[in-house]
Amino acid sequence: MAGNTITKPSDLSCTPSRAARELGLKRGEFDLAVHLGRIRTAPDEGGGGRRVTRAEIDRLRSADGFPESLLESVKTVGTTDGAALMEVTSARFTRFARLGLVVPVRFYVNRYRAVVWLYLAEELRQFAADKNHTSLLNGRTPEGLRDQLQAGLDLRPRNWRGRHLGFLLRQADGPWERAGALAALLDPVQIAEIVQDPYERAHLNRFRPDPPAHGAPGSPAAHIAERIMTAEDPDEISWLRADLTQVLDEARRHRPAPRPTAELTAPRPTAQLAVPRPTAEPAVPRPTADPAEWPPTAEPVGPPPTLSERPPEPVPEPAPEPERSRGMLGWLRRRNA
């Protein structure tokens, strides 16, 4: 009977939420592990997002020190805890972060609208254990680095973008997805200059990931996250534009952007108004051969009467004279007599 068992796709993989429970991770820890490449995911064939295969879960569960080792690999700390972990002051740790010596892996916006950067505890321990960093941890900051800090250098947003781009590229399944990952770090104005075809630009925007969710859409926290997501340095913008142009050429060769077909874009023929044709006058029925039958109720038509046969016209009677006129004439006649 075992040969008749049907294996469902859900038996070979599971959703991220279920995978997090089976691995003993919170959902935020699971997402960070995927972000760092510690947990491999696969696209859902049904189009329902990414899933985790059973083979990947078995690989992680069979690793040495599971689940403590997996939990420790995704543990994050802020500035205060990071400084304590490296045995330096918070001010020195902040200088390390601004100089790009330690790279943030996540961030959030607190209630005071301040950006709080988070770092991997594992990476901070490795930095502190490196003997090449002893002078940085215990001595004075080199003069060249101090000048950069005084000029306002802060590489935390840019380093986070580089790390986030690596995550997006690992999740990309094709050239259009890779182009969308690069476009996610560019301003829309920059994208419009590179991709001037509106149909191609609309197709690219379908694969452009949104910035990490921070607060409600349109809120101050969301605007801060969007600003951190967008490249600002000229050299960073330059290489992003160059990479996007190159990947777009590959994407066009792989699968051109869809556009309306000729049948949809061709203008429809204008309907001509139907001009009514003049209707023919009703034909007068011709008389039949027998005069007695045409017309049925009229007498036979004869020749027109002559002048002698026409009746004399009546002579109009003279209008009677007014009573006053007859009285005046009679008075004159009597007077003359």
Q: Distance (Å, rounded) from C-alpha 149 to C-alpha 79?
A: 17
Query: What tens digit of pLDDT does each residue of 31-88 get?
Result: 999 999 999 998 887 667 889 999 999 999 999 999 999 999 999 999 999 999 999 9
Amino acid 107: pLDDT: 95
pLDDT, tens digit (0-9, with 9 covering 90-100), for 145-204: 999 999 999 999 999 999 999 999 998 989 999 999 999 999 999 999 999 999 999 999
Q: Is 213 left (phi over 0), alpha (psi -120 to 50) or beta?
A: beta
Chain centroid to CA 300: 89
As given in the structure block, the two tokens for residue 321 are 């004279």
Task: Give me the residue spans of the domains in the chain.
Answer: 11-73, 76-154, 157-256
Confidence of residue 210 (pLDDT cuts 50, 70, 90): confident
Q: pLDDT digits over 265-314, tens only? A: 455 555 554 555 555 555 545 554 454 444 555 445 555 555 445 555 55
Q: Where are the alpha helices (DSSP H) in 74-155?
A: 79-86, 90-98, 121-129, 134-138, 143-150
Smallest CA-to-CA distance from 246 within 175, 168, 167, 172 is with: 175
Residues 312-329, mean pLDDT to the nearest whole number: 53
CA distance 206 to 222: 20
Closest alpha carbon to 115 in 154, 149, 148? 154
Which pLDDT belongs to residue 327? 55
Please, which residues have CB within 8 angstroms of residue 299's CB and are 6 or more apart in sequence? none
User: Considering Cα of 235, then 238, then 242, then 245, what sign does the dihedral take?
Assistant: positive
Is pLDDT at 7 greater than 50 in this prediction? no
Instruction: Identify which has the larger pLDDT, 218 or 242.
Output: 242
What integer pLDDT is reported at residue 49 of this predicted model? Answer: 80
d(CA 158, CA 231): 7
Q: Which residues contact 293 (CB under 8 A, 6 or more apart)?
A: none
